[in-house]
Structure 1
Amino acid sequence: MTGRVSMNRPSVYLGLSGRPRVVDANGTPIRFPTRKARALFVYLALAGEAGAARERLADMFWPGRPDQGARRALRGTLHEMRSALPPAVEGIVRQTRDRVTVLPSAIGTERGDDLGAPGDGPADFLVGLEVGTPGFDQWCAEEQARLRDAALDRAVRMMEADLSEGRFASARRVAEQVLALDPLSELGCRGVMRALAGTGRRAEALRRHEAFRDALAAELDTVPEAATDRLAEHIRLADDRLPPAALARPDQPSIVVMPFADLTGGEQSHVVDGLAADVRTGLARDRALFVVASDSAEAYRETPLGAAEIAGELGVRYLLAGRLRVDPERMRLDIELTDGMRNTVVWSGRYDRPRAAFLSVQDEVVTEIVATLRGYKGIVQRNEARCARAKSDADLDAHDHLMRGMLLKETFLKHDMRAARAHFERSLALSPQSAAAHGWLAWTWFFEVYLGWADDPAEALARTETHARAAVSLDPDLDFAHWALGAAYLAAGDNPTALDCFERALALNPNNSDALANCAWPLMFEGRTDEAVARLERAMRLNPFHPDWYLWGLGMAEYLRGNMRDACAALGRMSQPNDQSKAFEIAALRRLGETERVDDAVAALHRLAPGARVRDLVAPLGFRDARLRDELADALRAAGVAA
């Protein structure tokens, strides 16, 4: 029936992106005889329930005309507009003496307009709707900006939802639409980069970052936001450390313990990191779990990546995240386990305790996480939890010193290693039964011997052995204690026994990538370089964002295998080289005949270790075949290092 309007679904659909389109319910275009008739319909269709006053319409479309003439022109245009509508929908226009309304319930938005321009169409709204009058054209410009902002907001939400669910192809399409609407959108650029990285196209993601950086410089004379550059740096690191193909998830449940968030304001960051490390260690002792090492988790401390993206990059399913707040009296830990493949929180817990009970919390967390993953009725590895709960409340300050020392030792530079030792000694003074403090002290003394720093190597070796044996005696089931004892045997030149100790550490904790990587040193010294490389490669898989010293070992092993270019490539990737790694790089470059690079490497060695001498660099190397040490010494002397 003419004039009847269905209330069940829209009778007319508007397409607002690009040039505005008006179609009926069947998709048939509605063509208006004049530009103003089309503009008037679009304006009224967007005006809502209130519609528009005739006086307002007359002033917008016919400014400067006498009132009578403007109202007469409005009536004519309204007639043209209504005549263009099919008879079945003519009733959607309602008129009174003073106002005109198009029923909002009768108007729908054409599919695709939520994101503005679909596909490769124009990235704008209401293109060409202007009629040349100041009032309407100003409204048109404001409406275009509103629609563009709303479309950007919707697109960003859709993009983030796609990324969080791992729908990277869809996320990229939407991110490209964000950039079509706003070519200088930081969120759009990061969305494209994340989507590309999520499908393994990391090189392309980095090229998009470079192009975006250039566009910002040219258009706005500025640089990308810190978050955009941090994302690029993460992707660059991932491109260097991760294989081109996605890492395959292990058969057993796999988990990464993310860096815990410090909600206290930074004063307790070392305590927060220590708690995450303790949780990670407890989980790693369960052979049924594949636990990613701490260095890989650290790479995601300030990342914008979602759970699905992190899980995809690391080849794991679960992510454990925590937030810790500490005050003088109490501490509260909120912890959450996420299934990265489904972006679903599968378990969460809160621990609100007196500060004196701080160290007992990690044991409960470990027990509950393992129970959740393995389904053992909420009670898994009770013995592990009981052992951990045996720590005393006095360990709080000892724990502080332990964590600070662990941060310092990672540089492998003499000054920092000795500062770390001071922290470990204070930790041990406060907690004399701490196997961990003894173990880390053993390692600091080991490096005095191994890197030739000690004035009295025999004393340093004795201290290494004393602290390592104390660690094993205090906690025979602590993998790290056996790892430290292996270092003592390595420093003493007993390579087979050192390897046995590292193997014992791995038997206790198969996810200890550091012990796995350390096996390379006794293997290299015994001439088993192929096995050394295999161990290092396995360690790097377990810990894709591994510390620099894995590259140190790999460079040494490749040098011993005669692969000088591979040796230089590995050693050159170290962000924090040390005396010995630089010595092997110098020797490899010398054998390749790259004279200029040799000179640069020698200069770098002297900056790291002023007064470095060949005898100090090669004496600690425990090669069974002494000729290897002599050949290295000859190459260093030939490169200009003082004998």
Structure 2
Amino acid sequence: MSLRLTTLGGCQLQDEAGQTIAAPYLSLVLLAYLYSSETQVARRSAAQLIWAGNPDAASTNLRSALRRLSQAIGENRVPVIEADGAYLTLNHQALTCDLEFETAEISADNLNLCSDAVAKVFLPLEGRTSAQLSIWVKDVRQRHVALLRQQFLKAADNPEKVARSDLRRAAVLLLEHDPGDEEIRRRISVSEGQDQQRVAAQPREAQQIMAPPPSGDLWTVPRIALLPPDTAVSAQKAGSVANALIEDLTIGLCASRAVSVVAPYTSERIRSSRDKAAILERHKITYVLDTQRTEDALFVQLVFLPTDEIIWATRFKLDPGEIAGQRQTITDAVQTSLVRQLHSTQTMALDVSSQPEAYVSFLRGLQDLSHMSLPSIRRARRHFKASLEIDRNFASSLAGLSRTFSMEWILTARGDQDLLQQAVRLADQAVNHNGQSAGAFKEVGVSHLFMGRIDESLEALEKAETLSPHYADVLFSHADSLVHASKPADALRKVLNSIELNPLPPDPYFWAAAGACYFLGEFAQALEFIGRMRDSKPADRLAAACWAMLGDAAKARTYRLRVLRNNPDFDLERWVAVLPHKEKWQTEMYREGLVKAGF
């Protein structure tokens, strides 16, 4: 009867029944260290490794950890650690560990064990500092990569004994760790039937981007995460052309020496996270290829993560009877477009590598902007300013800073012209520093809109959409200006397109859709869009007007009181006077709804 220690993808101790034992975390790290060491370890060495930050108390902490581990396991069990004064020894009869693969023979059968170890990561909470514990953890991870490489090379010599998908997975993990490993790239190319003729047949842009990078630094080599729409389990059950496409693209892009493909296990974790700044900072991701499957179509979009811009997107019509045959056609088309886009954005990628902290701060600001409240907007402003302290000419952060002033103008509803003037000034600066930035032109359009310059707003937003036709935020902002330009039907079509491009959109998308519906007389539909907002308080004025126009005075009153509770200084006539509308009927229609609501 023995306990089981898990160190890959987490750290926990389980009994024979699979129940987790509530032992202190650092006592489990100690068990992992003893298991990995294979021989007895000096108590002093173990204590200084795990409690290096507090050397005076290290020995005391070790004794406490041993006592608490023993209590958690139970006094009736055989001790898992034998302590004889100066040394600690692991009792291998009382404990098994998921690191046993380290002593497995080099064979094709053990390839997946090593792949799992590298993918899941040994003690994932550790290894992020220069402390002794982190150094040891990183050494173990490096050992796992070396073992995987040995297993892969052995398996590649006997490809008939191993599944091709297993070889692919191992190769991607190895190339993610070391994009410059030419031996691995050559072996997987041979196993996939690739050769120099195929590379030579690529477009000229593809040949250029396949040139070796100046160094192997993770920031220097752009990294791309390929996100399938299905989990591995659901894909296996139903079969998935999108997942098969991602698998083909992963191997195809491994032929490029200037781009590093993130392993599928990492990509799944990225899909589940909304913290784009943390993804950029921790995984050094530059591009994300996202795929979405509907009944009869596959939608693919490439996102430049540092600025969260969709730089390319396309849709493939799927024929249920011909999906297998379409797979290679779609793969070739996507790969060719990908390589061209990677080549065209090389300058931006290199800029990220030179000052990643500026982009991380920018993304943190962008995330705060997705919450429409004054505290969130002011937090975003601090992040954008922090980014500009690193690079004062960073157009994306100048544009983001401009947006904070426009949004504050909307939320306070006081008609403060100073806020709009600052927004216009910063947006103009962003365009001056980067005349190809769709985000910069977007903020020029937004700031001019609220200044009442509707034609100038539409001109700037059309320019932004020309520069980046798949950038969802640009389409949403263009839609919002079309609402104010007295074109609510055009606005609704465009904002629905932006929601399709960004299936988990921030609240302003739904707010803009609701505004378009209001001016189309679709008040119930407007309320439905408001109901999809995570925080609908900013749209309370519009909700009150909708309920009033529907004849529900009680609900209109409820929302009017919410508006006045959050903004007691709200003045109807002052607000209506500064709201920009191209045609007077819009202003009167909005005023009618608010008056009926009791404002």
TM-score, normalising length: structure 1: 0.45
Larger radius of gyration, structure 1 or 2? 1
TM-score by length of 2: 0.48
